[in-house]
Amino acid sequence: MMQTPIAESDESSKLTLNSVKALIQMAQNYPGGFWSNLLSDNPRRAVKTFIECYSRPSLTWDDLSFLRSLTDLPIILKGILNPDDARKAIDCNMDGIIVSNHGGRQVDGAISSMEALPAIADEVGSNIPVLLDSGIRSGGDIFKALALGADAVLLGRPYVYALALGGEQGVRELIQNYRADFELTMGLSGCQFTNQIARDHLKAI
């Protein structure tokens, strides 16, 4: 993704090598012909709109209360890695949280969601569902997440890869394989039901 800020000021609209590169990249990637895109303002405006929508550093926890007031639909807050934030999510009347580092794509060296999970699960208790994603690649990973306090896990890249390789059927097979691997792990760990999966199934190192 191109992250070059699209600023409006005279100072930052000076032509530099980087700004020319960015213009060319935008003209190449925007739908339509390269030369007409290069002369048009639309690619630059599209990137600017995307950047404004994608990243809003001005958002605060108060915006969640505002969001809550707009809808009765469940709101699941994603990206929680800290027990204090999990508590805030409960206080803001969120219906659930997703413990996630967004697949490790945001901050290099961020804590893994699995490492963050136990303290968050302890903080949340049975107040709201705790989901987890980032790095779930096997039935064993699902088992570990449930043992550490998750109610369910989510898949990101694996289902997209399956979709790319095998379409709808590919995704079905992926889910079946995860499920079979998970059930096998449960069986080999002596668990008949998911509510039997407990932390003491894992050995602390």
Cβ(26)–Cβ(3) below 8 Å:
no
Instruction: Give residue number: closest CB to ligand FMN.
Output: 156
Q: Does 177 bind ligand FMN (CB under 6 A)?
A: no
**Taking a C-beta distance cutoff of 8 angstroms, is the pair 51, 79 a contact?**
no
Residue 78 binding ligand FMN, by CB under 6 A: yes
> Backbone phi, then psi, for 60, in 5-degree steps?
-130, 175
Residue 155 near ligand FMN by CB under 6 A: yes
Cβ-in-10-Å burial (0-12, 13-18, 19+) of 67 comes to middle
**Among 156, 175, 189, 201, which residue sits at the site for ligand FMN (rule: CB under 6 A)?**
156
Interacting residue with ligand FMN among 81, 133, 150, 162 (CB under 6 A): 133
Angle at 151 between CA 117 and CA 104, to 5 degrees: 45
State the amino acid at position 52 in one-letter form: E
Q: Is 175 in the site for ligand FMN (CB under 6 A)?
A: no
Q: Counting contacts by CB under 6 A, is residue 37 touching ligand FMN?
A: no
Which parts of this chain interact with ligand FMN (CB under 6 A)?
78, 100, 102-103, 105, 133-136, 155-158
